[in-house]
Chains A and B, each alone.
Chain A
Amino acid sequence: MKVLSQGEGRLFTDPDANRAREYFRGKSRALKSKLTTVSEAVARLVQDGEYVAVGGFGTNRIPTALLHEMVRQGKKNLGLSGHTATHDFEILAAGGCINRCDVAYVVGLEARGLSRNSRRLFESGGLEVTEWTNAALAWRYRAAAMGVPFIPARSMLGTDTFRKSAAKEIECPYTGEKLVALPALYPDVALVHVHRADVYGNCQIDGIMVADQELARAAKKVIVTCERLIHNDEIRRNPEKTAIAYFTVDAVIEVPFGSYPGNMAGEYFSDEEHLREWLTAEEDPETFRTFLDKYIYGTKDFGEYLQLCGGLAKMQKLRALELLSGPKGVE
């Protein structure tokens, strides 16, 4: 196959399908309990320097407890897949955890504005960046999930996004057309928050999947947090509902309200006040340090963070918002 050109960006992960197969060959298929704690899972499964990918969509169905714990444990020199990484990127950037990033969408929090601290990280040159697009990263997970070294696609072509990527432009062996070859992305660790899981790691997700099914299959290690732990009988009653199968999963932790301050479909809406508090605190580095001390470094776990943010009363308010059943005028 003819390679016509290639992006200048660095490829942070190995797309080799045979080396991935060697890894997956050694991965346990045993149906055994993987139930653990947030701190144990992060200490055991996330090593400094590894490449991490976060499930969900920025402020929706994100594994906040795991992200806070990575900051608390002072994880360093991580690579990150920036597949719409908004509040998740904001947390890891705040903790100084990352030094390289495959960027599709970061720094912004969509309609809420830009994260000042995340911008500082880019603008100080403190981050090595390779550019991609959201579809490119989703399709790169898909290639890895398929066990092939690349997948062809038709976006990115002709732009600076391609020029600063690590993609290659190839000639289609069937039609002769130009295509972009997207290298398979096998993250070292995926962090995913789901609605329900059993102790083995069989997961159910309500609402959109974003790219989490592909991601869980692509990643070498998968840490799952769930709103609610369920009995294996519930999984077996509706196997078609299993979005992520147990044999891809390495650790399971029950974390109720685990996507807070993000949205969890059908459970609770995002806490826009607290997300704004983050953005506002970031405007001044000293204020931001105090803010992080209060909410992350000064808390021993996610439960304490929820208490600080308003506890059960706040969660009930966000549930009413999500279910559109709040007092008139809240929405």
Chain B
Amino acid sequence: MAYNPMELMICLAARHLEDGSTVVVGTGAPCAAAMLAQRTCSPNLMVMFEAGGAGPILPSMPISVGDSRTFYRGLFAGSMGEIMDACQRGMVDYTFLGGAQIDPYGNINSTVIGEHARPKVRFPGSGGANDLASLAWRTMMITPQDAKRFVPKCDFVTSPGYLTGPGAREAAGLPPETGPYKVITQLAVIGFDEATKRMKVEATHPGVTREDVITNTGFELLWADDVAVSAPPTAEELRILRDEVDPYRYIIGRG
């Protein structure tokens, strides 16, 4: 069955969300991935939003992480403080982030390009991203991959990945055993090397060559010994994604 890159990225992300775990998501592709996971591999996935909504039966894609869909028939409608407390306490397993730049250690820039006081481009800033990247157990990214976005060094580190490498998060005071987990792009699934904490390609998508991945990355990537080929979306995943999760193609239409 034919599919577009966005549909593949959402399916791959959904398969990583373990049943019975908690995930804090934003709007867009991460939310679609969580909704798909609930309807396939993880019926007991607890979906949370940073503004305070948790465990909704999402009737449609939220437009804002604080809109009323985020707690529609939910289990909990609380506060930002309560969701972030749960992260800091160690009860949030997964989160998803994105940004204008990402470096080999998974550090993310969503603040400025250029000088901070008078930037060339101003982006929104951390929002809850720094908190989630600091405090959730595993951070994932669903992001377009190109050499302008995958840079050797971010202009500004908004949210922490592995910072400067092994031991850096712990030295900075961030909770142990947290950090970036998977980066899912239109080309590949990228993990992080245990020894160096740098990005390591684990799988390329069907039809994507090693050369494609290299050309679209602004730094040297590590490669797993046995790079897999990503399993394409199943007919069932596509049906649920198209009919139930995103019937108006707000997200998958961008693929």
Contact = CB atoms under 8 A, between A and B. Distances in A.
Please provide the 8 A-B residue pairs with the shortest distance between their CB atoms, ordered closest to farther.
A178-B173, A158-B172, A57-B66, A208-B52, A105-B127, A108-B124, A122-B122, A135-B84
B128 interface: yes
A265 interface: yes
B253 interface: no
Contacts of B131: 133-136, 155-156
Contact count band on A: 35 or more
Contact of A58 (B26, B64, B77, B128): B64
A139 B124 contact: no
Interface of B: 26-28, 50-53, 59-60, 63-68, 70-71, 77-81, 84, 87-88, 107, 111, 116-131, 134-135, 156-160, 163, 168-169, 171-175, 248
B175 A154 contact: yes
A104 interface: yes
A110 interface: yes
A103 B122 CA distance: 11
B77 A207 contact: yes
Among B66, B70, B168, the one with the most A-chain Cβ atoms within 10 Å of its Cβ is B66
Interface of A: 56-61, 82-84, 86, 103-108, 110-112, 114, 119, 122-125, 129, 131-136, 138-139, 142, 153-161, 164, 169, 177-180, 207-214, 263, 265-266, 269-270, 272, 322, 324, 331
A112 B250 CA distance: 11
A324 B52 contact: no
Contacts of A177: 173
Contacts of A153: 88
B96 to A, nearest CB: 14
B121 A119 contact: yes
Contacts of A134: 50, 80, 84, 126-128, 131
A231 B131 CA distance: 41
Contacts of A154: 88, 134-135, 173-175
Contacts, number: 201
B111 A60 contact: no
Contacts of B130: 133, 155-156, 159, 161
Nearest to A324: B59
Given A154-B173, A158-B173, A132 B126 contact: yes
B64 to A, nearest CB: 5
Contacts of A132: 126
B124 A159 contact: no
A258 to B, nearest CB: 16
B122 A155 contact: no
B66 A159 contact: no
Nearest to B247: A331
B124 A138 contact: no
Contact of A209 (B28, B52, B119, B126): B52
Interface centre among A108, A134, A177, A179 (most CB of B within 10 A): A134
